[in-house]
Amino acid sequence: MQPLRINVDIVMERVPLTNRWVSEMWRPFAVLPAPARDAAEALAAPVDIAPGSRWCFRSHVLELHPSEAEGYFLNLTAPAPCVFVMWRMDEDGTPPLARPVLATLSYNEAARIMDGGERVETVALPAQIADWMRPFVAAHYKPEPRRKVKRNDPFADSENAPNGEGGARR
C-alpha cells in the first residue's frame, strides 16, 4: 500500500543563552502544513523568517504507513500530541547550524530513532495534521486482543497430581 503523505515546513529556532559554557541552544519551533513544491524550491536554502533566530526548512514530508498505525494511535491519544523532529548540528559553521533531517508522527518510530543515538525533539501537533491523521488511524489501527495471563499458582494442579496428595507437599 502506498503511504499517505503531507508536505510540511519545519521551523528551527536559535535561543541565545546566558551561560559560561554555551552561548546558544537550538530546537525545533514549529511544524507547519505546506503546499507541494517543485524540485528547485525543495533544494532552496532555508528561509530566515526571524532575523538570526528562526529558519524555515521547506519540503519535508510526513508519511503515514499502515505498519506504524499503533504509534500514530499512541500519539493522537496522548495528553499532548506532537510531531517528532530528528535534527543534527551542521558542521560547516554557517547559520543556521541546526538542520532538521526527518519528521515523524509515530511514537514507535521516534523511539527507534532515539535508540539509534539521534537527537529527537517534539513540536506541538497542528490541528490540521491531526485531522488528516484520524481517518487513517481509524482505518488501520486494530488493537491486539487481550490475553488471559496465567500466574504461577502452586495449588492450580491439585486435582491432577499423580499421587493424589495435591499440588503442595507437607
Least Cα distance to 130 among 169, 166, 78, 90 occurs for 78
Mean pLDDT of 87-97: 83
The average pLDDT across 19-42 equals: 83
Contact assessment for residue 123 and residue 104, using Cβ atoms and an 8 Å cutoff: no
- Res. 106: pLDDT tops 60: yes
Judge whether 134 and 76 are in contact, CB under 8 Å. yes
CA distances from 94 to 12, 22, 138 (A): 14, 17, 44
Tell me: pLDDT of 28 over 90.
Answer: yes
Question: How many residues are recorded in the chain?
Answer: 170
Q: What angle do CA 95, 100, 104 make, to 5 degrees?
A: 165
Residue 103 parent element (H or E): strand 98-104
Report how far residue 92's alpha carbon sits from residue 124's, in angstroms, rounded to the nearest whole number.
Answer: 29
The reply to whether the predicted model has a pTM over 0.95 is: no
Report d(CA 141, CA 75) in Å as an integer: 12
pLDDT tens profile 116-168: 999 999 999 999 999 999 999 999 999 888 888 777 777 766 655 555 555 55
- pLDDT of 69 over the 80 cut: yes
Mean pLDDT over all residues of the chain?
Answer: 86
Query: Which candidate, 79, 73, 82, places its Cα nearest to that of 140?
Result: 73
Across residues 39-60, what is the average pLDDT? 78
